[in-house]
Structure 1
Amino acid sequence: MFNNIYRGRRALITGHTGFKGSWLALWLQKLGADVTGVALAPNAEPNHWAMLKLDHESHFIDIRDEDALRAAVTQANPEIVFHLAAQPLVRRSYVQPVETFATNVMGTANLLNACRSLKDLSAIVVVTTDKCYENKEWVWGYREVDPLGGHDPYSASKAATEIVASSFRRSFFNSSGGALLATARAGNVIGGGDWSEDRLIPDLVRAVAGQQALEIRSPRSTRPWQHVLECLSGYLTLGQALIDRDGSAADAWNFGPDREGNRSVEALLTALARDWPNVKWRLSQDVHPHEAQLLQLDSSKSRQLLKWQPVWSFDEGVDVTAQWYRTLLEDGRVTSEEQLDAYQITATQRDLVWASLT
């Protein structure tokens, strides 16, 4: 996988205790990397990272603490950094806007500044979001050259994060022999192990466990849904290109699903109910803060230049998501490693570039 480029390589993940970060830590360990994590201590029960029981160095640090973060980064001395630590929730950003900007913008600046002194660093992948674009509610997907923006504080903070990363890239990185820096923007991610508050599938799982119907806000809102392993394969493909000194990869990249993955909230719930009859929902009558109704990504650039493409279809991603939670609730078993193995096998069978044995 990834031409064995991660085997024996020192990798730092910020946000490793989160949903995406924990899956990435699992995958990098299976690829043979020497993983170090920096994140807040898990404050939710259950927690996917704790469930995985991974054996790697871990520092529980707030990335707003510049001195503590610098010390941890220096100690880890990574060759590649994946920056995922963030305040990731739209609705929380309305309640805590200053904390959201401080974490997502200044936290990123703190990390990139700490990385400037690392002698062995080859690559930095800063993860933002599809919501970093100025959303005009149009019917075609956003491209990397489209304007950044953001109505809510979360989206605006991620647009600002992109600007911070671009500034550091042009000012301090990408010089001859220096580290290459890129940003990655993914769609709405689903998959087992997400227990975030105020997020569709975790809220649905909690409702199922409590034998209740989930109250949903916007059944017709459309999002680019993708399984968590899809965007992670994109991040790892991008990291490989940066380590291989491909200067053209030091840029912004979309990693979204094919057009068939752009579905409404109601369509996603209907697909989940097909695999999980206990899934039920009802429409909320409350007034809620603004959220985008239509959002799509154009990932043509990553498909053409990085040769990246999704592995699982929308239905396949929904199926394995439902299976992960059902197996946990009904049998008490965590199937993350099994699903990762199945994903890699499928990628190999479909002859995807990153999964080839060349």
Structure 2
Amino acid sequence: MGFWHNKRVLVTGHTGFKGAWLCELLLGRGAHVTGLALPPEDDGSLFSRLQLKSRMPGDFVDVRDATAVSEAVKAARPEIVLHLAAQSLVRRSYRDPVGTWATNVMGTAHLLEALRSRSAPVTTVIVTTDKVYENHEWPHAYRENDALGGHDPYSASKAATELVSASWRRSFGDDHLKIATARAGNVIGGGDWAEDRLVPDIIRALISGRPIAIRNPASIRPWQHVLDPLHGYLLLAERLHGSNTGAPFETAYNFGPELSDVSPVETLVETILSHWPGKWIDAGDPSAAHEAGRLSLTIEKAKSELGWKPVWPFERAVEMTVEWYRQVANGRDAAEICQAQIAAFETGS
């Protein structure tokens, strides 16, 4: 709790799944948290269930609006910024590629410009994705110095976000503006209700009693519970903020599971069904838009330079994810569940 106590922290994307969990973590550590994001897409969002609107100040701002972003940053006066605001869905990016690029790339540029104009120093962690790499579908895990790329508009826009961040860091970064990026794997956990995302789709089918339609059962992903990368982001921000110039932490870091926990979609589905019985069907469509077949990250850099490592292995991550949804379906308060899971995670249980 010590480092974050009374720190002024701006979380962009605080109304999203990961952003809401992150705000819960920061509030529990005594930080003064302000949010900047679009309104939640529905009343059942984790943001709404955690009642974050009444627990922290925040503005409903579109990051594509440079003036609004600048005004929100001035009002928040952040010491540390965790930038999660994004259009984060691959299939949606095919439907709205320009909007995806405008949010992810220009939204990041608007934020960095607003921070650059501040007179007080600020530490910034820009969150991207494991999909920033030029994916060759090869068996070895991607390292931070592998080439950036991206087939679909979402992945390519996040690779461009990495370039924007690196450009602002090289052009304007100093002890006044410290910038690092964080590339997380495929995150699971309670409270995600996004469209066309695997775990929410599975849970909706289980709740309704329908068979689960799986598009790509053989696709391989680096699954991890949401609390693992979020603790990585916080640790990176601490190291970056505490360093004299930001070096050597002003760079990119992968946050993912151990390679032994990189698994096919089918394994994830079967593991979920071992906790919440149901059935699934192969709904693959050869004519569907491209999605990567294999992704994995090496996390040795974060381990060696930050002292970070994942806490919950695959089985435990899935168990806690399913438990969250089951308890909410049975009427338990979402905030109580989140707080209990945070306590379990931070004690390694």
Q: Which residue of 2 aligns with 1:309?
A: 309
Residues 73 and 114, structure 2, Cα contact 8 Å, conserved in 1:
yes
Residues 183 and 253, structure 1, Cα contact 8 Å, conserved in 2:
yes
- Residue 44 of structure 1 deviates from its aligned partner by 2.0
**TM-score normalised by L of structure 2:** 0.96
Residues 44 and 195, structure 1, Cα contact 8 Å, conserved in 2:
no
- Residue 45 of structure 1 deviates from its aligned partner by 3.5
Q: Which residue of 1 aligns with 2:9?
A: 11
Mark the CA change 1:285 to 1:231 in structure 2 (over 3 Å): closer, same or farther. Answer: closer
- Residue 84 of structure 1 deviates from its aligned partner by 0.3
My pick for the range that moved more, 98-107 or 177-186, is 177-186
- Residue 285 of structure 1 deviates from its aligned partner by 4.6
Q: Which residue of 2 aligns with 1:93?
A: 93
Matched, 1:326 2:326: yes
Residues 123 and 181, structure 1, Cα contact 8 Å, conserved in 2:
yes
Structure 2: distance between partners of 1:146 and 1:346? 32
Quick one: which amino acid aligns to residue 143 of structure 1? R
Q: Which residue of 1 aligns with 2:60?
A: 60
Q: Which residue of 2 aligns with 1:144?
A: 144
Matched, 1:268 2:264: no
Matched, 1:27 2:25: yes
Structure 2: distance between partners of 1:282 and 1:45? 30
Structure 1: distance between partners of 2:43 and 2:147? 38
Secondary structure class of the residue paired with 1:195: coil
CA RMSD, 1 decimal: 1.1
Structure 1: distance between partners of 2:212 and 2:129? 25
Give per-residue Cα distances to partners, 1:273-323, cap 9 Å, x unaligned.
11111x321111533110111110011100011110011111110100010
Q: Which residue of 1 aligns with 2:280?
A: 281
Residues 254 and 298, structure 1, Cα contact 8 Å, conserved in 2:
yes
Q: Which residue of 2 aligns with 1:340?
A: 342
Quick one: which amino acid aligns to residue 61 of structure 2? I
Q: How many residue pairs align between the two structures?
A: 342
Secondary structure class of the residue paired with 2:137: coil
Q: Which residue of 1 aligns with 2:229?
A: 231
Residues 222 and 295, structure 2, Cα contact 8 Å, conserved in 1:
yes
Q: 5+ residue gaps in structure 1?
A: 348-358
Structure 1: distance between partners of 2:117 and 2:69? 13
Residues 10 and 34, structure 1, Cα contact 8 Å, conserved in 2:
yes
Structure 2: distance between partners of 1:244 and 1:62? 31
**TM-score normalised by L of structure 1:** 0.94
Q: Which residue of 2 aligns with 1:72?
A: 72
- Identity across aligned pairs (percent)? 50
Residues 132 and 155, structure 1, Cα contact 8 Å, conserved in 2:
yes
Mark the CA change 1:53 to 1:45 in structure 2 (over 3 Å): closer, same or farther. Answer: closer
Mark the CA change 1:285 to 1:239 in structure 2 (over 3 Å): closer, same or farther. Answer: closer
Q: Which residue of 2 aligns with 1:352?
A: none
- Residue 257 of structure 1 deviates from its aligned partner by 0.4
Q: Which residue of 2 aligns with 1:355?
A: none
Q: Which residue of 1 aligns with 2:206?
A: 208
My pick for the range that moved more, 112-121 or 322-331, is 112-121
Give per-residue Cα distances to partners, 1:322-350, cap 9 Å, x unaligned.
10000011234311111111111218xxx
Q: Which residue of 1 aligns with 2:220?
A: 222
Give per-residue Cα distances to partners, 1:174-197, cap 9 Å, x unaligned.
x2x312100000000000000100
- Residue 118 of structure 1 deviates from its aligned partner by 2.0
- Residue 53 of structure 1 deviates from its aligned partner by 1.2
Q: Which residue of 1 aligns with 2:127?
A: 127
Give per-residue Cα distances to partners, 1:176-221, cap 9 Å, x unaligned.
x312100000000000000100000101111112110111111010
Which portions of structure 1, spanning 4 or more consecutive aligned residues, are displaced by more than 3 angstroms?
none
Q: Which residue of 2 aligns with 1:112?
A: 112
Matched, 1:292 2:292: yes
